[in-house]
Structures are given as structure tokens and as C-alpha cells.
């Protein structure tokens, strides 16, 4: 059985590291490269950096920042934000990045998933799915950093993304993101059960028990952490940190 991965997710906006609550209320955290250096020292196994700069989809990836991150990062690194074409992915991989994360472009042109995975392998492609629950309880997929509603069901879209060649799905609950209130276990379970590829659960982690619950009850293959790894505790100041790996994996046995 593969070890459950616990992955820090860093959000970048206009070159600065930030943290959001439900994709809103941006709080400045620090410098992305300095934060990567700290995670190097903490011996994190993997890292994801998502650029949520307004209009990033139209502007394309920030290749200068990507090059700086690649130079600093000693662990496998995934980059998302503004990837719209095979050429974008090619430039990111050429910088030394191991994975690309695609969201809006994957929905607007699903063949992009196949194009990238055909050239670089499915293990190099993470399809990110942002989900928000509506007034009547239905979960729908959102794009453009959660601003644009689609009519897509997250389970249906996740299965389609897998069919097109995604190696992993990163599932984010917009309603839980940054709240410290725990994962949406029902949502995670519904998507995880439909897939044969790894699912990274993201949005809501507030303590170690939340990590255990989303793996054991939700069925996720990996867990992505945001607030927990950049703040001391909920409502407290910035402190880049990472839970003790031995403790986490002991709890997951």
C-alpha cells in the first residue's frame, strides 16, 4: 500500500504568498521562495504552488517566478495557474518542474489533458477541481478561481478528466477552504469512489484528525494543506510549519 502523501499547497497572488478563506479575503503570508526554503529544511515530500493572480489565465504562467521556485525547491514541485496549452506545460517542465496543475483550461478544452499526458505522462498532470455547494445542496464545479459557475457535477467531471489522461485529481471544497472546519467528507468520498487514480483532498484541514478522517472516511489518496502549514493556529500569526510525518503516518495506520 502506498504511503498517504501530505502536501503543502501555497497560493501566490501577484508574486506574493497569500492565504484565502473560501477563495476570498486574501491575507499576505510572505515570500514564496523563502517559504520554499523552509519547506526544504522541513523535508516535505512534495509541494504544490498555485498562482491565483487575477487574469492569470489570460496572462499565462509567471515563468520568472516558476524558474525561481524551481531553483530553490529540493522536492517534487507542481505548478498551477495560467496553463492553457501544451506549450505552456512544455516551458514549465523545461524549468525543472515535475507536475502541472490545470483547472479552467481542462474544462474549457479537455483535450489539453490528453495532449500533456501523452507527451509527459499522466503522472505529470494534476487536474484541479474547485467545487461549491449551492443553495439546494447540489455541488457544482467552478472555474476562474471560483468566480465562474459551470453546470458540471464534480463526480462526472473527475471521471472524464481521468478518461482524458489525468494522473491525479485535486479536489477543493470552496466552502471549506481556509475555514479550519474539516474536509467535506461526503464530497471527497463521492469523487474518490468514482476514480481509479489518486485523489488529493484540499480545503478545510484544521488539525491532524481532519487528515485522518479524509483518508479513512473520505477515501482520499493524499491530503493538501494550506492554512495549517502557514499559520501558527487559527486566528494566529504566520508560521511556516509542517506536521510531524511519523506522527501523521502513525495515525493513518
pLDDT in tens, 197-242: 999 999 999 999 999 999 999 999 999 999 999 999 999 999 999 9
pLDDT at 251 over 90: no
What is residue 5's predicted lDDT score, i.e. its pLDDT? 95
User: What value, to the nearest 5°, has the Cα angle with vertex 113 and ends 120 and 26?
Assistant: 105
| 29: its cell numbers | 503570508
Place of cell 504511503: 3
pLDDT (average), residues 140-166: 96
Full-model pTM = 0.96
pLDDT higher at 43 or 34 = 34
Confidence band, pLDDT 50/70/90 cuts, at residue 185: very high
Q: Is residue 58 classed exposed, middle or buried when 0-12, 13-18 and 19+ CB atoms within 10 A define those classes?
A: exposed
β-strands 24-30, 47-51: how paired? Answer: unpaired
What is residue 48's predicted lDDT score, i.e. its pLDDT? 98
Share of the chain above pLDDT 90, in %: 89
The whole-chain average pLDDT of the chain stands at 95
pLDDT at 93 over 60: yes
Question: What is each CA distance from 32 to 17, 19, 132, 178, in whole angstroms?
Answer: 5, 12, 27, 18
Provide the CATH number for the domain around residue 198: 3.20.20.70
What is residue 252's predicted lDDT score, i.e. its pLDDT? 85
User: What is the domain count for the chain?
Assistant: 1
What is residue 89's predicted lDDT score, i.e. its pLDDT? 98
What is residue 2's predicted lDDT score, i.e. its pLDDT? 67
Residue-number span of the structural domain to which 105 is assigned: 5-252
pLDDT at 246 over 90: no
The catalytic residue positions are 130
pLDDT at 1 over 70: no
What is residue 57's predicted lDDT score, i.e. its pLDDT? 87
DSSP secondary structure string for all residues of 64-95: HHHHHHHHH--S-EEEESS--SHHHHHHHHHT
Q: Which residues contact 235 (CB under 8 A, 6 or more apart)?
A: none
Amino acid at each position: 500500500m502506498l504511503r498517504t502523501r501530505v502536501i503543502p499547497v501555497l497560493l501566490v497572488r501577484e508574486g506574493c504568498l497569500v492565504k484565502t478563506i473560501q477563495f476570498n479575503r486574501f491575507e499576505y503570508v510572505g515570500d514564496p521562495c523563502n517559504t520554499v526554503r523552509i519547506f526544504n529544511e522541513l523535508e516535505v515530500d512534495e509541494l504544490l504552488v498555485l498562482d491565483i493572480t487575477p487574469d492569470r489565465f489570460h496572462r499565462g504562467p509567471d515563468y520568472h517566478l516558476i524558474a525561481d521556485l524551481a531553483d530553490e525547491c529540493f522536492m517534487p514541485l507542481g505548478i498551477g495557474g495560467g496553463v492553457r496549452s501544451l506549450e505552456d506545460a512544455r516551458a514549465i517542465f523545461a524549468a525543472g518542474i515535475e507536475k502541472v496543475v490545470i483547472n479552467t483550461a481542462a474544462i474549457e478544452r479537455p483535450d489539453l489533458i490528453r495532449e500533456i499526458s501523452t507527451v509527459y505522462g499522466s503522472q505529470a498532470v494534476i487536474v484541479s477541481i474547485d467545487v461549491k455547494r449551492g443553495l439546494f445542496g447540489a455541488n457544482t464545479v467552478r472555474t476562474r478561481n471560483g468566480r465562474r459557475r459551470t453546470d458540471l457535477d464534480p463526480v462526472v467531471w473527475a471521471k472524464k478528466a481521468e478518461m482524458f489522461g489525468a494522473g491525479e485529481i485535486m479536489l477543493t471544497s470552496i466552502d471549506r477552504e481556509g475555514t479550519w472546519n474539516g474536509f467535506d467528507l461526503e464530497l471527497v468520498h463521492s469523487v474518490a469512489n468514482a476514480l481509479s487514480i489518486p485523489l488529493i483532498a484540499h480545503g478545510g484541514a484544521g488539525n491532524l484528525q481532519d487528515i485522518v478522517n479524509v483518508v479513512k472516511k473520505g477515501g482520499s489518496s493524499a491530503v493538501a494543506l494550506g492554512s495549517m502549514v502557514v499559520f501558527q493556529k487559527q486566528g494566529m500569526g504566520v508560521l511556516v510549519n509542517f506536521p510531524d510525518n511519523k506522527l501523521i503516518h502513525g495515525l493513518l495506520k
